[in-house]
Structure 1
Amino acid sequence: MDKSCKLISFNCKSVTRCVDYVRKLCQRADILALQETWLLPHDLQYLNKIDEDFGCTGTSAVDTSAGILRGRPYGGVALLWRKNAFGSVTVLHCASVRLAAIRVITGDTSFLVFSVYMPVDCGENLPEFTECLAEINALLRALMSECFYFRGL
């Protein structure tokens, strides 16, 4: 088995709007990290329709409990991986909607991949920024993989 793995990251600003381009990226990638997918919670299954050869996980940043959505959706991250490229892929639970993470095992190697969409760098976002980093740190400490990759940020 080839030990190389091609990772691509793309800030898509609506995965539904640019799905054809995302499909082209899937042809070149083993793992694709997406940011700003702009999917509503009930639309996350759309990720499964992008490419049948890819598994996926994603989050929605849109809070639909507030009632009628005003404006466009926002945020959201996703990871897509080529199903036949790895021995095992485990989706990791992330509390933050700014994170999607997987653990990949291939042969005797394991690694973590994160798709991250950090908040804008300003003082009022410091608590959310810190919480996101704390969650990443907790996952890294708990899983102790040989290496890790961050895409997006």
Structure 2
Amino acid sequence: MSPQQSELRILSFNCKNVKTIAPFIENMRNQVDIILLQEHWLFDHELNLLDELNSHFCGKGKSINSGKNTCDLLIKSVRGYGGVAILWDRSIDQYVKSIIDGNNRIQCIELALKNPILLVSAYLPTKAENDKFEEFSECIDQLFEITQKYELTHNLVIGGDFIEEISKINNSRRALKLKKLIDECNMKVDFKGPTFINVKGEEISEIDYFIYKTEVTHKTSRLTDVASNVSDHHPIKITLPCKFLKKEDILESNVQPRIRWDKVDINKYSNIIAQETPMLKEKLQNQQNSITTTIEQTMEMLSNTAKKCSAQKTYGKNKLKLKLWNPEIKHTLHQNKIAYKNWKNADRPNDPEHPLKETEL
């Protein structure tokens, strides 16, 4: 992919073990720029493999044991399961920023475009064990929070395996919860046909979707004829127009302004912190977040709140720039440089009556 490219091609794919999809990635290398993966089956200590799948892609992911005790999980399971990730073409790495929002079933990245995009790869819980509604509901609630947080500043695209069919009449509480997210966040979803294949090779349900909120035109498709696909899911694809920021604009956007604490509205700052803290405490007490994730989210909250409550100074942006340069000054400076060069080439004579010391400018 080139930063001059006018289209962004995004794939969502439940790969059912990332260790088996190297041929698939190579096959799709020239057809997609970003891949949202579900069920990579890696443990947390194996996530470095995401950067080794293909020399043209790098990535970021979360595993089923991210933020948990790996030893306990290894005792219960002979292999990894679940997990989400996002891979992107290395040529656009400077435009990609990993976002910490979401649990270990949600991976987010931000794209630094003229109209920034927040991309989310989501893998919701299966229907086993009494349909896991509470865990499913928690994931939907987190997607709602992410949408509310970024909808005013970003185009939003959530791709993934939602383990629930909403393309047909389905009044299960899981389907209704997912539909409520789409309706309340004023998002859209395109239906393209069955994406899940049973053991008999029959396409039986559509459970993989792109749910999006974007002002730009797009097109979606279902890829059914990829020979290297060994998963029981069809990949789905969305294409968006894009315009990358210039390198200097990215550097400027990454500069973090220094907080002027003497200018911070302390009362406003305290009120916002008091409103946000209980939610973080609740997630930590209910073990919805690891300690590391909670600390990262707390630091981000404190930083963002301080920026909102401080009066940042604009350094001279509106100052009048006087144009003092004129042709006479330019000519005099030029003559001065010539005189200095001649004096230097003559071994810098100190005699005040020397011709070079008397040169008139």
Instruction: Output the TM-score relative to the length of structure 1.
Output: 0.86
Residue 105 in structure 1 maps to residue 112 in structure 2: yes
Residue 144 of structure 2 corresponds to residue 141 of structure 1: no
Residue 47 of structure 1: how far off its partner (Å)? 0.4
Flag structure 2 segments of 5+ consecutive residues without an equivalent: 162-361
RMSD: 2.1
Equivalent pairs counted in the alignment come to: 152
Residue 51 of structure 1 aligns with an amino acid whose one-letter code is: N
Conserved? CA contact 1:47–1:57, under 8 Å? yes
Higher helix content, 1 or 2? 2
Aligned twin of 1:128: 135
The letter for the 1-side match of 2:98 is V
Quick check: 1:91 aligned with 2:92? no
- Report the equivalent of 1:51: 54
Corresponding position of 1:9 = 12
1:30 aligns with 2:38: no
Q: Secondary structure of 1:96's match?
A: coil
Deviation at 1:124, TM superposition (A): 4.3
Secondary structure, counterpart of 2:143 in structure 1: helix
Identify if the C-alpha distance between structure 1 residues 69 and 28 changes in structure 2 by more than 3 Å, giving closer, same or farther: farther
Q: Does the CA contact (< 8 Å) of 1:26 and 1:32 recur in 2? A: no
Distance 1:18 1:87, change over 3 A: closer
For 2:141, give the aligned amino acid. A
Out of 14-23 and 137-146, give the one that drifted further: 137-146
1:87-139 superposed Cα distances (whole Å, 9 cap, x missing partner)? 62111113411111111122x11111111111124654111112111222222
Separation in structure 1 between the aligned mates of residue 5 and residue 57 of structure 2, nearest angstrom: 18
For 1:59, the aligned partner's letter is K
| One-letter code aligned to 1:109 | N
Greater strand percent: which structure? 1
Moved more, 72-81 or 59-68: 59-68
Secondary structure in 1 aligned to 2:137? helix
- Contact 2:111–2:118 at 8 Å: present in 1 too? yes
Equivalent residue number for residue 75 of structure 2 = 68
SS of corresponding position for 1:5: strand
Higher relative contact order (CA 8 A, sep 6+): 1
Identical pairs, percent: 27
* Secondary structure, counterpart of 1:68 in structure 2: helix
Moved more, 62-71 or 33-42: 62-71
Equivalent residues of 1:86, 1:104 under 8 A apart: no
Structure 1 match to 2:21: 18
In structure 2, distance between residues paired with 1:111 and 1:95: 17
- The yes-or-no answer on 1:119 pairing with 2:119 is no
Contact 1:8 1:29 in 2 (8 A): yes
User: Does the aligned pair in 2 maintain the 1:15–1:22 contact within 8 Å?
Assistant: no
Separation in 1, partners of 2:160, 2:87 = 14
State the partner residue of 2:159: 151
1: distance between equivalents of 2:84 and 2:71?
20
SS of structure 1 residue aligned to 2:45: helix
Structure number with larger C-alpha Rg: 2
Cα separation, 1, equivalents of 2:42 and 2:26: 17
